[in-house]
Amino acid sequence: NSPAEAEAAVRACRYPPAGARSYGPLRANYWAGADYFTHANAEVCCIVMVETAEAVRLVEDIVSVPGVDAVYVGPADLSVSLGLSPAPDHAEEAFTSALGRIVDACRRHGVVPAIAGNQVTAPRRIEEGFAMVEVASDARLLAAAAAQALAALRPATEARTAYL
C-alpha cells in the first residue's frame, strides 16, 4: 500500500547489504547449489501486490522503490477496494483506469506488471500491457482435472453399484 511497505518487502527478499533477509537457505542450497548466497540477490524477484485504492494512488512511488521487480494485481481484491463486487474483471472506469495506471507506472520504472486472471481475461490483460498473466489457478486446474477423472470413472461405478 505504500513505498515504505515496498521497501520492507525488498529488504525481506534480499540478503545484506542489499536487504535484511536472514541466512538459512537449506532447501535453496539443494536446487541452487552451495554457493546460493553469492547469487541469490541477483536471482530473487521482489513482487509486491497493488490491489487497493490506496496502493493504486501511490503506485508511482511504490514502483520507484529500488529492488521492486514486479507488481502483482489481484483483480478481485482491487475490485472490492474500489467499491465493486469481487470479480476478475469489471467494465467500470474506476477499475479499468486503475489497471491502466498500474501498467503505465510499471512501464515508466522498468517494473513488470502482473495480474491474476483466467482464460477469459488473460488475452485482454496482455493487450493492456500486463507482462505476467495468470490463465488459471492451481486450485481450479486441480478441481477440473479431478472432475474429468471422476467423469471418466462414473460409468464403471454405475455398473458396479448395481451389485450393491
- Cell triple for residue 148? 474429468
State the CB neighbour count (10 A cutoff) for residue 24: 8
Give the model's pLDDT for residue 153.
Answer: 86
Contact criterion met (CB below 8 Å) for 89 and 121:
yes
Give the model's pLDDT for residue 156.
Answer: 77
The pTM score is 0.84
pLDDT (tens digit, 0 to 9) for every residue of the chain, 164 residues total? 999 999 999 999 999 999 999 888 788 888 888 898 999 999 999 999 999 999 999 999 999 999 999 999 999 999 999 999 999 999 999 999 999 999 999 999 999 999 999 999 999 999 999 999 999 888 888 998 899 988 888 887 776 665 55
Give the model's pLDDT for residue 26.
Answer: 82
Give the model's pLDDT for residue 144.
Answer: 87
Q: Give the integer Cα–Cα distance in Å for 68 and 110.
A: 9
Contact criterion met (CB below 8 Å) for 128 and 113:
no
